[in-house]
Amino acid sequence: MRIAVLSGKGGTGKTTVSAGLAAAIGKCQYIDCDVEEPNGALFLHPQIASVSPVEVTVPVVDASKCNSCGRCAGVCQFHAISVVKRKVLMFHELCHHCGACSIACPQNAISETNREIGVVESDEAALFIQGRLHIGEPITIPIIQELKLRMRDDVPAILDCSPGASCTVVQTITGCDYCILVTEPTPFGLHDLKIAVALVRRMDIPFGVVINKAMDGNERMQQYCYDQEITVLMEIPFSRKIAKNYSRGILPVQDCREWQDRFVSLYKAIEGGAAS
């Protein structure tokens, strides 16, 4: 069972739900795919046993062979190369590692080298893995791909997504059996939930919604889910106590037996197919 937790809007409680689920059900794999701002470790306290670099291949030019013809810059779709004053400038952060420039070079002057854009960190048993993008790097997809290669088949996997609904989230939820959409009952939360719903529907992945920070005034959210025939899996109340515990790195499941039971039931409902 592979369950991805996403939200559209940031800060709605993806990590509260995904790390909570992982903590509640015990033997499972938690994968933090929010590689720009990974937070799961702050709640799950893994013992990181290995750190592996995530590398991409980028072009390098052999100046002794290059005749500054500019073909490489001409074919690069990502503006990662420019030729200025007979000199080839490479902007490696923009490179998509496609190899088009070396194919295009008539002088065979372009070769490739590895460049690190981030790391993947794992505990001994690979039950906790997380990616971490290096500062100043824009491209996250190769790190998410590396995380997904390490997904285990023998235990349930819980994937914590990044916010939004762009290619990063698509990459994360591809191949998942179920998505949990975490939202909050504000116009912002509802607006972004609709985007997330459209995404999982298009990708044809069964899903349900967790309403976090639930309070009076939820009706619009409830009504939307009812109209759209979306299962509301759980409501977590708006509470200063939960917020305060969260600030210290304590999840509802770690603080209270009742939440532990509720998250276990949530997992069972998803696993049993009752939640789609």
Partner 1 sequence: MKQVVFISGKGGTGKSTVVASLSRMVLDKMLVDCDVDAPNLHLLVEGERLLETDYFGVRQAMIDPLLCSQCGLCRQTCRFGAIGEDFAVEPMVCEGCGACLLVCPQEAISLRQVKTGQTYVDSTELGTFSHALLDIGAEGSGKLVTEVKKNLEEYKKDEAWVLVDGSPGIGCVVIASITGADAVVAVCEPTLSGKSDLARLLQVAAHFGIPAFVCVNKYDLNSGITKEIEDYCLKTDVPVIGRLQYEPGIVKALQSFQTPVEAGLTHITDEIGRIWSALALALDTEKKDEGGIA
**Residue numbers at the binding site for partner 1 (CB under 8 A):** 7-12, 15, 36-37, 39, 42, 75, 77-78, 96-100, 103-104, 133, 135-140, 162-170, 184-188, 191-192, 195, 198-199, 202-203, 213, 215, 217, 220, 238, 240, 243-244, 246-249
Residue type, 204: D
Type and span of the H or E element at 118: strand 110-123
CB of 269 to partner 1, least distance (A): 26
Is the CB of 103 or the CB of 125 nearer to partner 1?
103
CB of 187 to partner 1, least distance (A): 5
Q: How far apart are CA 126 and CA 139, in angstroms?
A: 24
CB of 15 to partner 1, least distance (A): 7
Q: How many CB atoms lie within 10 A of CB 62?
A: 12
Is the CB of 141 or the CB of 256 nearer to partner 1?
141
Query: Coil, helix or strand for 211?
Result: strand
CB of 49 to partner 1, least distance (A): 20
Is the CB of 123 or the CB of 137 nearer to partner 1?
137
Task: Show the CA angle centred on residue 7, arms to residues 48 and 275, nearest 5°.
Answer: 95
What is the number of alpha carbons within 13 Å of residue 248 lying toward its C-beta?
A: 9
Is the CB of 127 or the CB of 199 nearer to partner 1?
199
> Contact at 8 Å (CB) between 93 and 136?
yes
CB of 87 to partner 1, least distance (A): 23
The secondary structure of 4-52 as a DSSP string is EEE-BSTTSSHHHHHHHHHHHH-SSEEEE---SS--HHHHH---EEEEE
Q: How far apart are CA 114 and CA 81, in angstroms?
A: 17
Is the CB of 64 or the CB of 77 nearer to partner 1?
77
Cα-trace Rg, the chain: 22
Is the CB of 99 or the CB of 273 nearer to partner 1?
99
CB of 167 to partner 1, least distance (A): 4
